[in-house]
Structure 1
Amino acid sequence: MDNDHPLYKWVALSNTTLGTLLATINASIVLISLPAIFRGIGLNPLAPGNVSYLLWMLMGYLVVTAVLVVLFGRLGDMYGRVRIYNIGFVVFTFSAIALSFDPFHLDGGALWLIAWRVAQGVGGAMLMASSSAILTDAFPANQRGMALGVNMVAAVAGSFLGLLIGGVLAEIHWQAIFWVGVPIGIVGTIWSMRSLKELGVRTPGRLDWPGCLTFGVGLTLLLVGITYGIQPYGASTTGWTNPWVLGAIGAGLLLLVVFCLVELRVAQPMVNIRLFRSTAFGMGNLAGLMSSVGRGGLQFMLIIWLQGIWLPLRGFDFESTPLWAAIYMLPITIGFLIAGPLAGSLSDRFGARPFTVGGMLLMGVSFVALVMIPVDFDYWVFALLIFLNGFGGGIFTAPNTAAIMSSVPPAERGAASGVRATFFNAGSSLSIGIFFSLMIVGLANTLPGALSTGLQEQGVSAAVAHEVSNLPPVGSLFAAFLGYNPIEELLEPYHALQQPGVNAEVLTGQTFFPHLIIEPFHSGLVVVFIAAAAMMVIGLIASLFNPGRYADDG
């Protein structure tokens, strides 16, 4: 189709929205389907030594996309954004094919899946890095908010839809969660190669290898360090006293500082650090990071809340809770899907600021309100609050994206799109480390005592009860998160459920663990959601610096 054809921009929008949706659905699809995956390859992820497989199955894709989007954004500026985007579709689809059959079992099966998830993350990074830049090239300034809004709504909706799709497909077959990407990937690849055209301004030049290495290694070390901060170390319930964790985070931050210094000195930087002199660009990315971290934290906390407490108390088997948790979380997605495109269109007329500030405010208020409802809540109150959170996210996201992308010169849109996507993806990765750690710290103060008392009341010996209650809370959290029966998992190594006088039926029933964890969980939840509300306040302040109108190309 000819570039000047009036339909071309809509072809670009529909194709890049499909690519973005595919990339972000696959970022979250394994969250809900992890139990089915590990059962499929015959591996217990909670056994000692296997937690690393669990973390990398969760984090591998997220870390890779966060680290590589800036590089692919810069390569898009140099060699063509559509070219990078098309290669991304090919890499993504090939990886989906490799994931859809796993020739190995146990550890080998886990390593195969992790390796191809990482490869799929490379393709996802190419798709995400290029899509915003392709749209900014294709649409005039007065429609850019709407176009980027639709694309960005697809990105965030994909992260929610992945939970539902993963839950449904995992019930069919564990490999079905990977099959879904194959036909969509093939269709998307052929369609993008036939229909998308290079409209952007290319800036040929040499690749900035010092910048690539310092950024890639620095961000990888930072995200991996924060991820391993979740795991217990020695007598500590988290890894924040582990010298390796602290060393990785310190080295990562140092390399990112070196990266900034390198970029100010090289002739053709991977990221023009001077872009951050633009208040709209710098503050927009800060607000985007806060929103992404808060949203990631909310996803994790709601999954644990529903799967570990609320659904079992209503008689759902632990094994069936992943699917139902995804269904009960649908109001967030609905709120986002209603608000996102609408806010994108309205911000083209009225400017970004009222929407970015209003969206942040609504998300912050909903986090505070979630702290105030009981853990064993009335569903309609809960549904309204998470709907408002999704609605606030939808109001914020599209105008913020358009403000960021419109604040940079046309020749640097690929790199700017990569920076924005890095903040988006890094936020998702950071949220896992930050919010899990906050929850574990909250649980560590109250869970051991409650667990020890509860177990002894049901006939478990004081020695076993004391030992189990002093295990790191991350085990209980991951068990609930994965749809396992947490008490059964905790007591199995001690064969305590087979001992005379032990009330095994009560201990492994639907209500014992939820009642046990309600109070400790609420302590952790208060810490987590107040921290999330504080992040929304930071995002709100940053959003006050958004422009009233987008600049046109000129």
Structure 2
Amino acid sequence: MSAPSQAPAPTGTADVATAPAASPSGIRMTGRQKLVLTLLLGAQFMIAVDFSILNVALPVVGAGLGFSLSHLQWIATAFALAAAGFTLLFGRIADLVGRKRLFLAGMVVLGLSSALGGLATSPEVLLVARVLQGLATAAVTPAGLALLTTAFKEGPLRERALGLNGALMSAGFTAGAILGGLLTDLLSWRWAFFINVPVAALVVFLAPAVITDSRPAARPRLDIPGAVTVTGGLLLLVYGLTQAGESGWTGPTTLAALLAGLVLLGVFLAVEKRAAAPLVPVHILKRRSVIWGNTAGLIAFVTETSLVFLLTLYLQEVLGYSPLATGLAFGVLGIGTVIGGALGGRAVGRFGNRRTIVTGGVVQAVATLSLVALGTSGEWIALLLVATFVGGIGNMLMIVGFMVTATSGLPDEEQGLATGLATMTQQVGITMGIPVMSAVATARMSALGDTGPEGVLSGVSVAILVNSALVLAGALLAGAFLGPRRTRSEARR
């Protein structure tokens, strides 16, 4: 199957979040498209599982390899630094050298690094494996999304594909927590790594015959100064965020890393304005669909991933749940995200990106706000399950709207860049959410001088209130600045 190319959006309409017309009943995916979709979604699901599969097992991993308690967070941080820091660079490299080639190379590295992690006998070897897994994720995610968006024309089929992609990625985060607990309890933490190896091998074996690459007509030189400054800036920013979760927002290391990261990102923008072949063309950064679509996506990931962290504190520290029981409790959230992803593409097709983002954000905000009522009795688990289910649907509507918005109206040769930006948004949001909400909860507990169940509940409740307000504000701002709804025929005029 030859991946269809896209024409650039007409001048004057590129910044408008368009709402495609209702999906014609006659449009169906071909058998080959279904196979491509299954393969790419399987790879993205595995990547999502990798984000969370070790969270439950971290204490066991640390004890098995001799990590000190203060250094345990580096198992997660090493992955996050590489995954978030290099994703924009790899998204552009995918446009230059070929999405299929980078996707396959990333899957090979992911499989080998997972095997290395499972066989690790020292902290140093495990951290090297985690860095390699992060680099593989930074390559596979934007390349896979670019292959997905170029395999389906802009319209109903792409919206359906992106909705399924978002649903499986969110389900992967939840499945990772459950799977990590099961594998650790029944087998060994090493199987949290080994499980990736056969999946990666299968994808590498099938992909060459199934996926057809889409290559840009011209291959400009890679913008080295831009690549260095944006990668350095993102690395420092993510490092500062992870340090904030450990030592607080006012620590000298945290402040220095965050400030240096922001300075480098500022330098990056200045470099891009003067570069002959910029890593990120300035005209893309000025598009309302890119700016506010990614803003909505950032807030969606910040709020939902951090809410899982806050509710983990509640379930374990207030209700006394075990790690495995905690993971299973989030299974309801996973079901909600799958339903939201399935509905997301249809919602975008019928109501447009803007309304889908706003509706999803409002639903998520209301569901999250209801969790402020949680108490110390085990009976409150019913409210938690209902609220996370409904909130998961809303969150996924928001994420699908963000993905469609951030990748629409761009020519084929810029799809790797668009998906790289969207992936960067996703990974920075995942990294940022926990430190931000942890700081809010910790500040409340410190003010009360209580770290017992009542103090934890109070801290979690305040952070949940902030979380709800943040997602509501983000959805409404995105809705206000994305512009009015237009049909596809109107956008062509």
Structure-1 residue corresponding to 2:460 = 525
User: For 1:3-52, what per-residue CA distance to the aligned partner results, in whole angstroms no more than 9, with x for missing partners?
Assistant: 68943322221111111111111011111111221232244x43xxxx1x
Are 2:297 and 1:283 aligned? no
User: For 1:57-91, what per-residue CA distance to the aligned partner results, in whole angstroms no more than 9, with x for missing partners?
Assistant: 12221221111111111111111111111111111
Structure-2 residue corresponding to 1:144 = 158
Structure-1 residue corresponding to 2:17 = none
Distance 2:200 2:347 in 1: 32
Gaps of 5+ in 2: 5-28
Distance 1:214 1:246 in 2: 19
Q: Which deviates more from structure 2 when the two are superposed, residues 77-86 or residues 415-424?
A: 77-86
Q: Which deviates more from structure 2 when the two are superposed, residues 413-422 or residues 353-362?
A: 353-362
Distance 1:244 1:345 in 2: 46
Distance 2:486 2:53 in 1: 36
Are 2:416 and 1:414 aligned? yes
Structure 2 counterpart of 1:174, one-letter code: W
Structure-2 residue corresponding to 1:303 = 312
Structure 2 counterpart of 1:396, one-letter code: M
Mapped contact 1:20–1:128 kept (Cα < 8 A): yes
Structure-1 residue corresponding to 2:117 = 99
User: For 1:220-239, what per-residue CA distance to the aligned partner results, in whole angstroms no more than 9, with x for missing partners?
Assistant: 1111122112334xxxxx3x
Are 2:55 and 1:59 aligned? no
Mapped contact 2:92–2:420 kept (Cα < 8 A): yes
User: For 1:337-385, what per-residue CA distance to the aligned partner results, in whole angstroms no more than 9, with x for missing partners?
Assistant: 1121222133223322222111100111122111122243522121101
Tell me, what secondary structure is at the counterpart of 1:206?
A: coil
Larger Rg: 1
Cα shift at 1:422? 0.2
Closer, same or farther in 2 for the Cα pair 1:259/1:348, shift >3 Å?
same
Structure 2 counterpart of 1:337, one-letter code: V
Identical counterparts, % of pairs: 27
Structure 2 counterpart of 1:397, one-letter code: I
Structure-2 residue corresponding to 1:393 = 395
* 1:259-338 → structure 2 map (5 Å cutoff): 259-312=268-321, 321-338=322-339
Distance 1:432 1:343 in 2: 26
Tell me, what secondary structure is at the counterpart of 1:281?
A: helix
Structure-2 residue corresponding to 1:505 = none
Structure 1 counterpart of 2:78, one-letter code: G
Closer, same or farther in 2 for the Cα pair 1:550/1:536, shift >3 Å?
farther
Are 2:96 and 1:78 aligned? yes
Distance 1:369 1:521 in 2: 17
Equivalent position to 1:16, from 37, 40, 58: 40
Are 2:164 and 1:229 aligned? no
Cα shift at 1:193? 2.2
Structure with more relative contact order (C-alpha pairs < 8 Å, separation 6 or more): 2
Instruction: Return the TM-score normalized by structure 1.
Output: 0.80
Structure-2 residue corresponding to 1:212 = 227
Closer, same or farther in 2 for the Cα pair 1:219/1:550, shift >3 Å?
farther
Cα shift at 1:149? 1.2
Cα shift at 1:2? 6.3
Closer, same or farther in 2 for the Cα pair 1:230/1:268, shift >3 Å?
same
Mapped contact 1:336–1:394 kept (Cα < 8 A): yes
Distance 1:202 1:178 in 2: 39
Mapped contact 1:9–1:138 kept (Cα < 8 A): yes
Distance 2:135 2:473 in 1: 31
Distance 1:36 1:343 in 2: 38
Closer, same or farther in 2 for the Cα pair 1:65/1:130, shift >3 Å?
same
Structure-1 residue corresponding to 2:364 = 363
Distance 1:152 1:398 in 2: 6
Cα shift at 1:550? 7.6
Distance 2:445 2:103 in 1: 44
Mapped contact 1:89–1:189 kept (Cα < 8 A): yes
Cα shift at 1:277? 2.0
Question: What's the Cα RMSD here?
Answer: 2.0
Distance 1:272 1:20 in 2: 27
Structure-2 residue corresponding to 1:182 = 197
Are 2:380 and 1:378 aligned? yes
Structure-1 residue corresponding to 2:254 = 245
Number of matched pairs? 462
Instruction: Return the TM-score normalized by structure 2.
Output: 0.89
